[in-house]
Amino acid sequence: MASYPINLNLKDRLCIVIGGGRVAWRKVNTLLDTGAKLRIVSPHVIEELTELIRLNKIEYYQKFYEKKDIMGAFLVICATDNKQVNALIGEDAQKNGALVNVVDDSYPSDFTVPAQIKQGDLLLTVSTSGKSPEISRQLRMELESTYGRKSYADFITLVASFREKLKHMDIPSRQRELFWRQMINREVLEFVRNGEISIVEARFKNAISSFRAES
C-alpha cells in the first residue's frame, strides 16, 4: 500500500519512545526540534539519552513498560529490543488512538520515519516505504552533499523576509506570484549553492525597488 507523505505539527503534543538504546536515541533525535513533549520509558538508557534527560529535554520514566505509560500520547515509538514487547506496545497505543511506529516488523506501523536532511527551515526526506533503510541512507547522503549547506537555510530566511515586504506593498497576489517565479530560477539557485547569498539579496532588493518605482 502506498504511503501518504505528511509533515506533522507536533508542538506541545506528547510523544513517547519506549526503549533506551541506540535506536531509541536516533528516534528521539528526529523529534527534538519539533517542540513536542518527549518522554522515554525504559529501565535503562544509554549515555546520550542520559545527557538529554539531564538537560531536561526529555522526560524519563525509569521503569519497564505498562499500559498507563502511554495514556494521552499523540505518537508512540516502540523501540525496545524485544519483538513481543514492541508488538504489545503497538497494539496498546493504537487502542488509545495514538500514531504508532514499531522499529521492527512485529506490528504494523502507522508511519515510517524517512531519512532526512535539515538546514534551518529546509527539510528534505527520502523514503523507501520501509523496504530498504540502506537505500534511504545512501540517497540522503547524496542529497546532503548538495543541499546540506547553511546557504540554503539562509536563502529560505531571506525569501521569507522579502515575502513579508511584498505583502505590505500594494501589489496583487497574482503579480507577487509571478515575481517569485521569475526571481527564484536556476541562476539564483546556483548562487545559493555557491554560498553567494549577498548577490541574491541584492537582486531581490533591486527587483522590489522596481516595483516601488512603478507603483
Q: Do 162 and 209 share a domain, yes or no?
A: yes
CATH number of the domain bearing residue 121: 3.30.160
Q: Do 8 and 107 share a domain, yes or no?
A: yes
* Angle between helical axes of 47-54 and 22-31 (0-180°, round to 10): 40
**Rounded alpha-carbon distances, angstroms, from residue 23 to 3, 61, 78, 177, 208:** 23, 17, 10, 43, 49
The mean pLDDT of the chain is 92
Q: Do 22 and 124 share a domain, yes or no?
A: no
What are the tens digits of pLDDT across the range 67-104?
Answer: 999 999 999 999 999 999 999 999 999 999 999 999 99
CATH number of the domain bearing residue 93: 3.40.50.720
pLDDT for the residue 215: 54
pLDDT > 60? residue 213: no
Q: Do 70 and 174 share a domain, yes or no?
A: no
Q: Do 19 and 68 share a domain, yes or no?
A: yes
* Angle between helical axes of 150-167 and 186-193 (0-180°, round to 10): 130
Q: Do 181 and 107 share a domain, yes or no?
A: no
pTM to 2 decimal places:
0.82
Q: Do 108 and 194 share a domain, yes or no?
A: no
Q: Do 51 and 61 share a domain, yes or no?
A: yes
Of 177 and 15, more confident: 15
73 contacts 16 by C-beta, under 8 angstroms: yes
Which residue, among 180, 123, 189, 181, has the nearest Cα to 151 in the 3D structure? 189
Domain extent, residue 210, equals 150-214
Q: How many domains does the chain have?
A: 3
78 contacts 70 by C-beta, under 8 angstroms: no
pLDDT > 60? residue 30: yes
pLDDT > 80? residue 44: yes
Residue 171 pLDDT grade (very low, low, confident, very high; cuts 50, 70, 90): confident
Tell me the mean pLDDT in the region 46-64: 96
For 61, the enclosing helix (H) or strand (E) is: strand 59-61
pLDDT for the residue 129: 79
Q: Do 109 and 11 share a domain, yes or no?
A: yes
pLDDT for the residue 188: 96
The edge-to-edge listing of strands for the beta sheet with 37-41 is 59-61, 37-41, 14-18, 75-78, 99-102
pLDDT for the residue 1: 63
Distance CA 200, CA 186 (A): 12
